[in-house]
Structure 1
Amino acid sequence: MRHALILLAAACLTTGCPKKTAEAPAPKEETASSDAALSAEDSGTPAETPAPDGGARAAQEACVDRWLQEHQLDRYGHPQGTMFAGGSPLFNEATGETKDRLEYVFARQPDALKACPATATP
């Protein structure tokens, strides 16, 4: 009997857990970008529209990162050292939705948007 328990435990450990614990991140990113496009259509603000040029988006992110560092905030606009359930405030574990980081920061810190407006590219 003892040997059977050992074999059963070994079999369970080698096969792994059958329960799915995470989903692939690719669909979440697609949802976040489509949500950003929808919210941009609703509000009409240029800061929420996805930049067709990745360089403009990268420049705005760099500006926001500098602004957050100058104000001693983490990359999400919270005080340094803030801990989040799940590791990030951008992912809602209950719904599976992911928010755009810049939109999240601008909602929490409107001064960051004033300091780092989106540059419109023709």
Structure 2
Amino acid sequence: MKNLTGVLVFSAALLLAPGCTRKTGEAPGPTDASAATGEAARTGASKGALGAEEDAGTVNSARAAQEACVDAWLQKQGLDAYGNPEGSMYAGGTPLFDERTGERTDRLDFIFKNKPEARQACQGDASAQ
């Protein structure tokens, strides 16, 4: 009986201990000023040396414009977001992921491969590629 009591106390402690976390609502942060890092310390470069941000923004906006054009074209054609007839069902939820290989395909590449006319319709928006 003495061992049973010890086992019960030990198992109760194991079950209750993970549930007793301290949640104060504060975000974790550095404990002192020496732990705080600036932009240069994180990236190894000063903010002025990070000139690729503007170029990346241009590419992202061109990509977004092309996606918007393709989405509008697909909607006009009565197709779903992947270029197949509306209401198509996919194993795994998306045709962009190959479960056998674990590879993911870019949505626009998938659409352009299966529907080359979508690329032609949105050719003006493809200047970034």
Normalised to the residue count of structure 2, the TM-score between the two structures is 0.53
Unaligned ranges ≥5, structure 2: 1-56
Q: How many residues align?
A: 73
Unaligned ranges ≥5, structure 1: 1-50
Any runs of at least 4 consecutive aligned residues in structure 1 with deviations exceeding 6 A, and if so which?
Answer: none
> Following TM superposition, by how much is the alpha carbon of 1:52 offset from its aligned partner in structure 2, in angstroms?
6.1
The one of 57, 64, 67 equivalent to 1:58 is 64
> Following TM superposition, by how much is the alpha carbon of 1:119 offset from its aligned partner in structure 2, in angstroms?
1.6
Note if 1:79 corresponds to 2:85.
yes
Structure whose alpha-carbon radius of gyration is higher: 2
Q: Output one character per residue of 1:28-73: Cα deviation in whole Å (capped at 9) or x when no partner.
A: xxxxxxxxxxxxxxxxxxxxxxx96100000000000000000000
Contact (CA 8 Å) 2:59, 2:128: kept in 1 or not? Answer: no
Residue aligning to 1:46: none
Residue aligning to 1:120: 128
Normalised to the residue count of structure 1, the TM-score between the two structures is 0.56
3-state DSSP of counterpart to 1:75:
coil
Note if 1:67 corresponds to 2:73.
yes
Closer, same or farther in 2 for the Cα pair 1:52/1:96, shift >3 Å? farther
CA-based RMSD of the aligned residues comes to 2.3
Q: Output one character per residue of 1:62-113: Cα deviation in whole Å (capped at 9) or x when no partner.
A: 0000000000000000000000000000000111000000000011111100
3-state DSSP of counterpart to 1:103:
helix
Higher relative contact order (CA 8 A, sep 6+): 1
Contact (CA 8 Å) 2:83, 2:114: kept in 1 or not? Answer: yes
